[in-house]
Chain A
Amino acid sequence: MTNNPKKIIVVDDNAENLTAIKNALKASYDVYPTNTVSNMFELMKRFIPDLILLDVAMQDVNGYEAAKMLKSNDNFREIPVIFLTSMDDPENEMEGLNLGAIDYIHKPLVAPLLIRRIKTHLSLTDQQKEILERNKKIEELLELKTKEVSLREAAEQEARDASRAKGEFLSHMSHEIRSPLNAVIGMISMALETDDIQKSKEYLKKAYGAGKHVLGLINDILDMSKIEANKLELAYSEFNFMEMLTGIINEASVRAGEKHQDITVHVNENIPPFITSDELRLSQVITNLLTNAVKFTPENGKIVLNAEKLDEKDGEITLQIEVADSGIGISAEQQKKLFTSYNQADSGIAQKFGGTGLGLAISKRIIELMNGTIWIESELDKGAKFIFTIKAGKGQDSAGAGYFRQDGSGDSGFDFSKYTILVADDDEINREIMSAILKKTGISVDFAENGKMASGMFLKHPERYNMLLMDVHMPEMDGYEATRKIRASGLEIAKNIRIIALTADVFKEDIQKCLDAGMDGHIGKPIFPNDLFAKLKKYLTLSSGAS
């Protein structure tokens, strides 16, 4: 098997015998002659021989005793032992073979036969060893493969579960999106049919609410797919914490008011007025928790929001925000699944209350990105308390120029009438919507139907405009090219004019593409008047500040 000569220990108390055996074997084997059993064990501290040739009658310990000791020791029991003795009576031979020797050879020794027999036995033990080694290897391989298979099976099961959950989710979503869309279309067609202005307004108000609901669902689904692709990122800026919170509470209060619920807010004064975080995402989390609280709390229930600073170190603060309600509560079993995607605690809940069931999974991910955690304290029928922490930067008190409270009043405290803007959009309905929305503010608006027209109009009368709202996808010339053309015109005013993208492309890379083309900001479609006014005020003020 191996090229190394096999090692054989020969034990005989007769020196002449030892020499004779050594001489007979040394050409084929590494022979270690020794005259006592104790010397044999000494030798075996250094190496394990491939075979032992044992005399029987010896002075210190006889061969039988030695064989017993060898066979009772785990380290030595597999070493083949051959007795080589002049005690050639059957009783002794029987004794030797019974003790586990593989052969019993009579003296005087016949060298070729001894060598032959040794060879036969070594080849048998080699075979055995080879099979055992092979066995060891494939047993290891088996263990590995078994693990692989069980991992694969687990992964397949997980994939099946996930696929089932997604299937259920899609069918649920299909229903969730179709229902409010049905309301949008139904309400609008009813509005079209009625001559009663009051009723028509009522229908349109409902259509507007349903439309906003669809948008929320789509945003959730997009957020979740970003999370699953590991692409959800935060955009940090400094903002006024209380103003952000006020905006959220105002909105939630409308819904809570409909159910006669009472929302109480406690903001600890230890929270600095300005913090650095992702305002939109933080709002999203708090809004989500408040929306859930309103949804799952019965009429006349109570909702409490507490916010406080837990810690501050090197300009970094830890905020803790809790939203507690007196609603239906969540069982321990339901809590386990609560923050997983596609899993509302109970599928019945989704049916009864609606929603994607993604809000908490999205919130959890956002909070984790903000180096925080979210947990829940709740019992069934005893209300629920959602608590989360985040790390945020401590802002400068003087900061906030350019920050405007979205107070829903549209044009309050700001005079739009002295400004003129150019809106480029190829879609007639969108232009009509913009015209109607902006009319309220008193701002002057010119419209262009594509990028070519927009850049032409601007470059013809650059001093006329304070700002451009630029759709991106337009025929003839898109918004990127129109922006680049304006920026490259060489006019000083064309370098500084605020150009804001107005587009349904809302992913981070889309926004970046707009900025790369030379635009100053981004407003996503669909447009909500209050958001639009806030952005207009922000950019117009920056424009006048800059000019």
Chain B
Amino acid sequence: MANEQKKIIAVDDIPENLATIRNTLKDLYEVYPCPSALKMFELLDHIKPDLIMLDVKMPDMDGYEAIKKLKSDERFKEIPVIFLSAMNDEKSEMEGLKLGAVDYIHKPFVTPLLLQRIKIHISMSEQQKTILDRNREIENFLKRISNSPV
């Protein structure tokens, strides 16, 4: 895997939560704290994160709406999303996973566990990306040589 730090966007409407998450992750990742889902989409125009941590309950656009929008957009649907929420009931978790999140972690979180779960999903998607890049590279190459004059 590349040595450069992976990028994580953390979305939470409570500044203290954002600060905690940022402090938890900042040594290992490049963290982009976002106070709202709308801000997250603005940010996504500029950076391509390796993972998104989403709160569920937020004003303007909640976490479920945000993930739906992410998963329906070709540009973002491959980015793994983990919910980090105080809504610890089964129904909420179920909803979050159904909408395509790769994990649903309850607040208050246990730091090493949070880090470990993030690591698992970033590494899985990284592996996929590497192979996909390789595939794309080969496909382009094959296209080039089949277009080249014989």
* A residues neighboring B (CB under 8 Å): 90, 93-94, 97-98, 102-103, 110, 112-113, 116-117, 119-120, 124, 127-128, 131-132, 134-135, 138-139, 141-142, 145, 149, 152
Contact = CB atoms under 8 A, between A and B. Distances in A.
Interface in B119-150: 120, 124, 127-128, 131-132, 134-135, 138-139, 141-142, 145-146, 150
Interface of B is mostly: helix
Contacts of B93: 113, 116
A97 B114 CA distance: 11
B1 interface: no
A145 B150 CA distance: 13
A120 B97 contact: yes
Contacts of A98: 116
A95 B93 CA distance: 23
Interface of A is mostly: helix
Given A90-B113, A94-B113, A152-B150, A128 B138 contact: no
A545 to B, nearest CB: 62
A128 B113 contact: no
Contacts, number: 63
Contacts of B124: 102, 124, 128
Contact of B142 (A113, A116, A142): A142
22 contacts: A90-B113, A93-B113, A94-B113, A97-B120, A102-B120, A102-B124, A112-B90, A113-B90, A113-B93, A113-B94, A113-B97, A116-B93, A116-B94, A116-B97, A116-B98, A124-B102, A124-B124, A128-B127, A131-B135, A134-B135, A135-B134, A138-B142
Given A116-B94, A120-B97, A138 B102 contact: no
B2 interface: no
A131 B131 contact: yes
B142 A141 contact: yes
Contact of B112 (A94, A103, A138, A142): A94
Given A93-B113, A94-B113, A152-B150, A138 B94 contact: no
A476 B138 CA distance: 69
B135 A138 contact: yes
Contacts of A134: 135
Contacts of B145: 145, 149
A120 B113 CA distance: 19
Interface in B64-113: 90, 93-94, 97-98, 101-103, 110, 112-113
Contact of B131 (A94, A97, A117, A135): A135
A127 B135 CA distance: 14
Contacts of B120: 97, 102
Nearest to B124: A124
Contacts of B110: 90, 93
B6 interface: no
Contact of A142 (B94, B128, B138): B138
B117 interface: yes
B142 to A, nearest CB: 6
B128 to A, nearest CB: 6
Given A112-B90, A145-B145, A97 B117 contact: yes
Contacts of A152: 150
A377 B150 CA distance: 43
A104 to B, nearest CB: 8
Given A116-B94, A131-B131, A138-B139, 6 more contacts: A93-B110, A97-B113, A113-B93, A119-B97, A142-B142, A145-B146
A131 B94 contact: no
Nearest to B132: A131
Nearest to A101: B120
A102 B94 CA distance: 18
Contacts of A90: 110, 112-113
A149 B142 CA distance: 11
Contacts of A102: 120, 124
Given A141-B142, A142-B138, A110 B132 contact: no
A198 B131 CA distance: 91
Contacts of B141: 142
Contacts of B103: 103, 120
Nearest to B93: A113
A491 B97 CA distance: 107
A543 to B, nearest CB: 60
Query: 5 tightest CB-CB pairs across the interface, nearest first?
Result: A90-B110, A97-B116, A116-B97, A138-B138, A142-B138
A327 B98 CA distance: 92
Nearest to A119: B97
B70 to A, nearest CB: 15
B135 A135 contact: yes
Contacts of B138: 138-139, 141-142
Nearest to A127: B128
Contacts of B132: 131
Nearest to A152: B150
Contact of A128 (B116, B128, B142): B128
B10 to A, nearest CB: 20
B150 A131 contact: no
A131 B128 contact: yes
Contacts of A149: 145
Nearest to A97: B116
A350 B138 CA distance: 50
A65 to B, nearest CB: 20
A52 to B, nearest CB: 16
Contacts of A119: 97
A145 B141 CA distance: 10
A466 to B, nearest CB: 62
B135 A117 contact: no
B150 A117 contact: no
B122 to A, nearest CB: 13
Contacts of B134: 135
A7 B116 CA distance: 27
A289 to B, nearest CB: 43
Nearest to B129: A131
A442 B85 CA distance: 124
Nearest to B109: A90
A197 B94 CA distance: 120
A103 B120 CA distance: 9
A116 B93 CA distance: 9
A208 to B, nearest CB: 51
Contacts of B135: 131, 134-135, 138
A138 B137 CA distance: 10
